[in-house]
Amino acid sequence: MTQKTNPRKYYKFPIFLALAVICGIFIGAVMNSDGSKNNITQSFKRYYEILNYVENDYVDTVNMDELVDFSIVKMLEKLDPHTAYIPKKDIDIARSQLEGDFEGIGIEFNIIKDTIYVVAPISGGPSEAVGLMAGDKIVKVDDKSVAGAGITNGDVFSKLRGPKGTKVKVTIVRKNAKKPLDFVITRDKIPTYSVDVSYMVDQTTGYIKVSRFSANTYTEFKQALTGLKAKGMKQLIIDLKDNPGGYMDRATRIVDELLDDRKLIVYTDGKDPRYDSRIEAYMNGDFEKGPVIVLINEGSASASEIVSGALQDNDRALIVGRRSFGKGLVQMPIPLSDGSELRLTISRYYTPSGRSIQKPYDKNNTDDYSSDLLKRYQHGEFFHADSIKFNDSLKYKTTKGRYVYGGGGIMPDIFVPRDTTAFTTYLVELFNKNIIREYTLDYYSNNKEELQKMTFEEFKKTFTVTDKMLKEVVDLATRSGVKFKESDFNKSKNMLKNNIKAYIGRSVWGNSGFYPIINETDEIYLSALKQWDKAKEIELGKKKK
């Protein structure tokens, strides 16, 4: 379009963006139930007129970009809980959660008391190359202070990430250094990992932790599987607890490594036939024989539920944990012309038995949907399996005759209640204030040479969290405003010691030093280790209703 317009009369880009989004929502829905046509043009015109009047005649100056973004978000809330609009300013952070890598300085960080702590420089990254260390506190970026109230993860991303080859100056405070230290870091491409760790639990049991399904997840899983088989793995635990999902095709390819004979993995059904699909196992997988246990909980959603649902319905794995989140809607990312993005629900997915695991939602009450996990907690579901009620009309059967249910997440074969004994109010306050993380970073800084002389196996077997260390944690907590509660402390003592040891291990060996220790107090993991007989029964085809 080459004709010039009056910018006063026709407010430029935000209006056109909003109209384009609205057009995308309503295309394909032009017919009412009585067969008459919706007048979409009138809807466009009405919205356009309002924006134009606000821009030209409203008494105060208005940020039209923010106004349009807000109106789009509120409009999409009338569709379903997972259709979403991501403004341009937030798109990099949103996409980085699914991309296989990003460009930046390469650190894992945590914000503690409004200060950016370096948890660890990423191995082989530019921060490690210039000498940043675990426990360093970043106080300035390009000579501007970043220490203070209100610093957020988004702020850190915007200041430290950037195009490969660009430079950024960071000023850090380091334990035992007499004055702040300056480092000029050249940004580079930083690999990120979604398979957090894989290791042998014992001589025959392998463990793989998948934190999300991002661009490289399948490749990472395949490498982990190959490595564990080379070490003698005969049975496998896949940990999907708190995995929010991600790319569907990465999830289905992982399932294909475990299923044989063109078995159905998942199918989708949308209003437009273009979005209908049927995905079956098609390749020779690396672990099609051997018991499998999948760990899930209330934080396992979307692609995690595709994996656990497919393996459960095909009687290929025993599912252990608590009922999953219940997200059975598929979103398609649609890039918009200004760099923002619409993630539009285009279909529902169904497990092989025919289950839709999408939990109910009210289009007019999104708050009710978002508070579902809190309601589950209050109802007692996290602690008692018999508090969970399923609709008999949504009963289905697995390939070998076991009953499963749709309409609200994946119900595990073995329910594991949440452990409330050790999770006292005092321990929760320590977590919320990042006391344990702060203490362990300082401990690592003060004892780095001694710790790095040990192998992880030696550390795991011989390192003990002493009473002196516990007192130091309590003293730090007291200085940070956490009131000491002796009865809570005694109940939480063992878990507190485990967490301190695990986080020290993480500072030295990364996730390989963290998960083998933290799992020693994970009730779902510990329960799974006792369920191999049931997992073998499923694999051998014994029907259990």
Residues labelled catalytic: 302, 313, 327
Residue with tokens 């949907």: 369
Query: Rounded CA gap, 108 and 395, in Å?
Result: 44
As given in the structure block, the two tokens for residue 538 are 């499923």
Ramachandran sector of residue 196 (left: φ over 0; alpha: ψ -120 to 50; beta: rest): alpha
Q: What are phi and psi of 240, to 5 degrees?
A: -115, 20
Q: How far apart are CA 185 and CA 167, in angstroms?
A: 6
Q: How far is CA 235 from CA 251, 287, 395, in A?
A: 20, 9, 30
Q: Which residues pair with 414 in a beta bridge?
A: 320
Cβ within 8 Å of residue 210, ≥6 positions away: 194, 195, 196, 217, 221, 238, 239, 240, 243, 254, 304
DSSP H or E run through 198: strand 195-200
Answer whether 427's CB lies under 8 Å from 473's CB.
no
Is the CB of residue 355 less than 8 Å from the CB of residue 313?
Answer: yes
CA distances for 31 relative to 22, 44, 192, angstroms: 16, 16, 46
Residue 120, classed as helix, strand or coil, is strand
Strand partners, 102: 190
Q: Hey, what amino acid is at 372?
A: D
Closest CA relative to residue 414, chosen from 541, 539, 526, 302 = 526
As a whole number of Å, the end-to-end CA separation of the chain is: 65
Q: Are strands 205-210 and 195-200 parallel, antiparallel or unpaired?
A: antiparallel
Classify residue 143 as left (phi > 0), alpha (psi -120 to 50) or beta. Answer: left
The strand pairing partners of 293, in sequence order, are 237, 318
